[in-house]
């Protein structure tokens, strides 16, 4: 099972959209995919109609080492895609992890996923927009990190800090971790976009993927249908972009 974190410290850059649609593309190739929602906002969980306050969730995976992870995994409406859901309880989980000093704190997700490593080909982890103990768990559990970037005035701010943080986690906890690269989301043919893309190429070299995901209203419409755009509208610009990105990165 290849484990990939979709990570950026910023919100609204299409982490969740990219996790869902890359997962959708892989599933269409017949790959078995496990999605992990690590954001207390639970948008990924809601997109796959798996939200519940009563069922076990990713918080339980992080807090209870004796839990059988199979009891947390939910099937989705789509063949080959299962999900470890999140709910609002995750907002309180970090504090509980930090207070529990009897167990190591960084590698809890990593340990939990070992039990199912032969059951899926890909595990895609949707991270919250911050660098906290929850994200550290995601990065400690991952083989690769992808960073979606939305171009705006502040797109480059904090990027070096983010890349340094990934390096630190690699050095301290997970030598296996590979920063695969960044990709641009909500791309448009404006002058600003062209200029910032050039800046990003200078800064990142070969760590920026060629494929960009175009701004496309079909993506927003798909969220109202509770369905990744790759499934609901195969011909949408963004669906084609996600297919190309999937080919490029996997």
Ligand X SMILES: Nc1ncnc2c1ncn2[C@@H]1O[C@H](COP(=O)(O)OP(=O)(O)O)[C@@H](O)[C@H]1O
Interacting residues toward ligand X by CB under 6 A = 11-17, 43, 129, 185-186, 213, 215-216, 219-220, 223, 238
15 or 180, CB closer to Mg ion? 15
Q: How far is the CB of 39 from Mg ion (least distance, A)?
A: 5
Distance between CA atoms of 203 and 181, rounded to whole angstroms?
A: 12
Residue of 3, 5, 8, 16 that binds Mg ion (CB under 5 A): 16
16 or 222, CB closer to Mg ion? 16
Q: Does 80 bind Mg ion (CB under 5 A)?
A: no
80 or 216, CB closer to ligand X? 216
Q: Give the residue nearest to Mg ion (CB).
A: 16
Residues 25-44: x/- map of binding to Mg ion (CB under 5 A)?
Answer: ------------------x-
DSSP H/E element including 185 = strand 178-185
82 or 187, CB closer to ligand X? 187
Phi, psi angles (nearest 5°) of residue 146: -110, 140
Angle between helices 15-28 and 237-249 (to 10 degrees): 70
Tell me the two tokens of residue 90.
């995750």
Residue pair 216/236 in contact by the 8 Å Cβ criterion = yes
173 or 242, CB closer to ligand X? 242
- Residues 6 or more apart whose CB falls under 8 angstroms from that of 249 comprise 22, 146, 180, 181, 183, 209
Which entry of Mg ion, ligand X, none binds 165, CB below 5 to 8 A by partner kind?
A: none
**CA distances, 55 to each of 14, 81, 114 (Å):** 27, 18, 22
Residue pair 124/33 in contact by the 8 Å Cβ criterion = yes
Q: Which stretch binds Mg ion (CB under 5 A): 8-16, 145-153, 175-183, 213-221?
A: 8-16
Angle between helices 217-224 and 237-249 (to 10 degrees): 100
Which entry of Mg ion, ligand X, none binds 17, CB below 5 to 8 A by partner kind?
A: ligand X
Q: How far is the CB of 179 from Mg ion (least distance, A)?
A: 20
69 or 83, CB closer to ligand X? 83
Which residues contact Mg ion (rule: CB under 5 A)?
15-16, 43
């Amino acid at each position: 099972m290849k484990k990939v974190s979709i990570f950026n410290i910023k919100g609204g850059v299409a982490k969740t959209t990219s996790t869902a649609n890359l997962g959708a593309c892989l599933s269409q190739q017949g790959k078995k995919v496990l999605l992990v929602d690590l954001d207390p906002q639970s948008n990924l969980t809601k997109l796959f109609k798996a939200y519940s306050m009563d069922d076990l969730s990713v918080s339980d995976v992080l807090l209870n080492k004796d839990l059988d992870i199979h009891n947390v995994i939910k099937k989705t409406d789509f063949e080959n895609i299962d999900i470890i859901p999140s709910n609002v309880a995750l907002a309180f989980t970090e504090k509980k992890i930090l207070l529990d000093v009897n167990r190591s704190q960084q590698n809890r997700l990593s340990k939990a996923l070992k039990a199912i490593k032969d059951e899926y080909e890909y595990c895609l982890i949707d991270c919250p927009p911050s660098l906290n103990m929850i994200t550290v768990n995601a990065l400690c559990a991952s083989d690769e990190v992808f960073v979606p970037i939305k171009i705006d005035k502040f797109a480059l701010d904090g990027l070096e800090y983010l890349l340094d943080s990934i390096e630190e986690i690699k050095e301290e906890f997970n030598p296996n971790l590979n920063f695969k690269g960044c990709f641009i989301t909500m791309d448009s043919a404006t002058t600003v976009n062209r200029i910032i893309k050039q800046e990003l190429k200078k800064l990142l070299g070969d760590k920026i993927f060629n494929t960009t995901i175009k701004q496309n209203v079909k993506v927003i419409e798909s969220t109202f249908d509770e369905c990744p755009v790759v499934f609901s509208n195969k011909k949408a610009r963004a669906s084609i972009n996600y297919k190309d990105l999937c080919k490029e990165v996997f």
